Chains A and B, each alone.
Chain A
Amino acid sequence: MEEISLKAQEIFNLGSFGVTNSLFSTLAVSLALIMTAFIARSKIKLVPGTIQSGVEMSAEWLLGLMEGMLGSAKKAEQYFPLVATIFLFIMACNLSGILPGVGSFFIEQGGQDVPLFRSPAADLNFTLAFAVISVIMTNLIGMAAAGVLPHISKFINFSNPINFFIGILELVSEFAKIISLSFRLFGNVFAGEVLLTIIFFLVPYVIPLPFLFLEIFVGMVQSFVFAMLTLVSISLHTALHEEH
């Protein structure tokens, strides 16, 4: 059975920087998305075809959802790129891990066969980076919405002991968000990878199919959950300032 590693494995070095199979997969997925964006851009028409209609429907659905949560179409359009990219990228990364053939490429590293690709979200560096980005971006959006000092006063407030304590709690909750977001995504995807590895080892044919479907579903749901939690966070930060 293939060895299950909690950490992403290095596949080659760029100077002192070791490129892991997870980062390599991330780059591959990014490249695929960028190429798709370039191709899509040249094919966008006012009268849409089938694919464009599907993409537009998805975009309008997400915009509608964001408008409902943020309370305005302008805000929805403003934050759409961030939320959509988080959703798209995490989903593409999750689905890339279960593409046929992805697990078949190995590279020899230090006398061991190391998988060339690894589901990016099965590496804490990826999920943690996204969680940090999500939290930092939502706070920056909050600052942009109401100003730096009013936003910081939410975390550091000496007006009275209760507000000070609430501020501390808010600060802790921001760090908790990073941990919860990163470990939720990592846990789900890594558990799926482990489950699939074990099932493929035990029964290589037919039986893994439902688990593959389950992983597709989990991959999509987790990307949606991540994007929605970011959206909720944006909504809370901007709505709180509007109240003030």
Chain B
Amino acid sequence: MESGSIFEQLGIHWQLLLSQAVNFFILLIILRVFAYKPLLAVIKKRNEKIKEGLQKAEEAEARLKEVDIIAKKHLQKADQEAMEIIKATQKKAETLQQSLQKETEDRQKELMAQAELAYLRQQEQAKQLVFSQAMELVKKTIMKTVELKPEIIDEALIKKAVLQVKDEI
């Protein structure tokens, strides 16, 4: 071991110290520029992107909730409108049914009245026919009777007889 100061004994030399220090600073600068800066920048950029992505996801979730609420409101409104339309249609149908029913009843009554009238007319015609035929028959009977005994002819009496018969019918 060399004799001398403690620095010499420990091998400490200012030139070596300075070289080590300079070497360290050169390394520090190079690493700072070429390694740490880009590395930290990329980490920062990624963190920002992640943050942005999370924020967007939250926004999208909130928007989705809003849309869901709006959709539910629309559905409720549509349900209400549908119910109203159904009710209105039912009411309309009932009214229509009632009017149709009334119309049918009226028509039925009318037809019944017409049928009754026709029946009465036919009945009257039949009566007329029976009456004229009866009159003819009575007339012919009487004429046959008169042929046998002409002195008993009395037109007025015949007519009276016929009217009596008619009343009886």
Q: From A23, A33, A56, A85, name the one whose CB has the most chain B CB atoms within 10 angstroms.
A: A85
B26 near A56 with CB under 8 A, answer no
Segment of A74-82, A155-163, A222-230 in the binding face:
A74-82
Interchain residue pairs with CB less than 8 A apart (16) = A6-B1, A23-B19, A30-B23, A30-B27, A37-B34, A37-B35, A46-B49, A59-B40, A60-B43, A81-B36, A120-B20, A124-B10, A126-B20, A129-B20, A129-B24, A133-B25
With an 8 A cutoff between CB atoms, is A65 at the interface? no
Contacts of B15 in A (CB 8 A): 17
With an 8 A cutoff between CB atoms, is B150 at the interface? no
Contacts of A38 in B (CB 8 A): 34
- Give, as a whole number of angstroms, the nearest-CB distance from B151 to chain A: 149
A7 near B31 with CB under 8 A, answer no
A125 near B13 with CB under 8 A, answer yes
A132 near B17 with CB under 8 A, answer yes
With an 8 A cutoff between CB atoms, is A44 at the interface? yes
Q: Write out, one digit per residue, whether chain A residues 36-75 have a CB within 8 A of any chain B CB (1) or not (0).
A: 1110110011101000000110011000000000000000
- Give, as a whole number of angstroms, the nearest-CB distance from A123 to chain B: 7
With an 8 A cutoff between CB atoms, is A88 at the interface? yes
With an 8 A cutoff between CB atoms, is A20 at the interface? yes
A123 near B23 with CB under 8 A, answer no
What 13 additional pairs, Cβ within 8 angstroms, besides A44-B39, A59-B40? A6-B1, A8-B16, A26-B23, A30-B23, A33-B31, A46-B46, A56-B39, A59-B43, A84-B31, A85-B24, A89-B24, A128-B12, A129-B20
B38 near A44 with CB under 8 A, answer yes
**Which range contains the number of B residues in contact with the other chain?**
20 to 34
A33 near B20 with CB under 8 A, answer no
Selected contact of B26 from candidates A23, A30, A133, CB within 8 Å: A30
Q: From A36, A38, A81, name the one whose CB has the most chain B CB atoms within 10 angstroms.
A: A81
* Residue positions of A touching B, CB distance < 8 A: 6-8, 17, 20, 22-23, 26-27, 30, 33-34, 36-38, 40-41, 44-46, 48, 55-56, 59-60, 77, 80-82, 84-85, 88-89, 120, 123-126, 128-130, 132-133
Contacts of A8 in B (CB 8 A): 11, 16
CA A177 – CA B26 in complex, angstroms?
24
- Give, as a whole number of angstroms, the nearest-CB distance from A145 to chain B: 19
B36 near A80 with CB under 8 A, answer yes
Contacts of A41 in B (CB 8 A): 34-35, 38
- Give, as a whole number of angstroms, the nearest-CB distance from A112 to chain B: 15
Contacts of B23 in A (CB 8 A): 23, 26-27, 30
A55 near B12 with CB under 8 A, answer no
Q: Which residue of the partner chain A has the closest CB to B15? A: A17
Contacts A26-B23, A46-B45, A80-B40 hold; do A37 and B31 have CB atoms under 8 A apart? yes
CA A150 – CA B28 in complex, angstroms?
28
Contacts of B31 in A (CB 8 A): 33-34, 37, 81, 84-85, 88
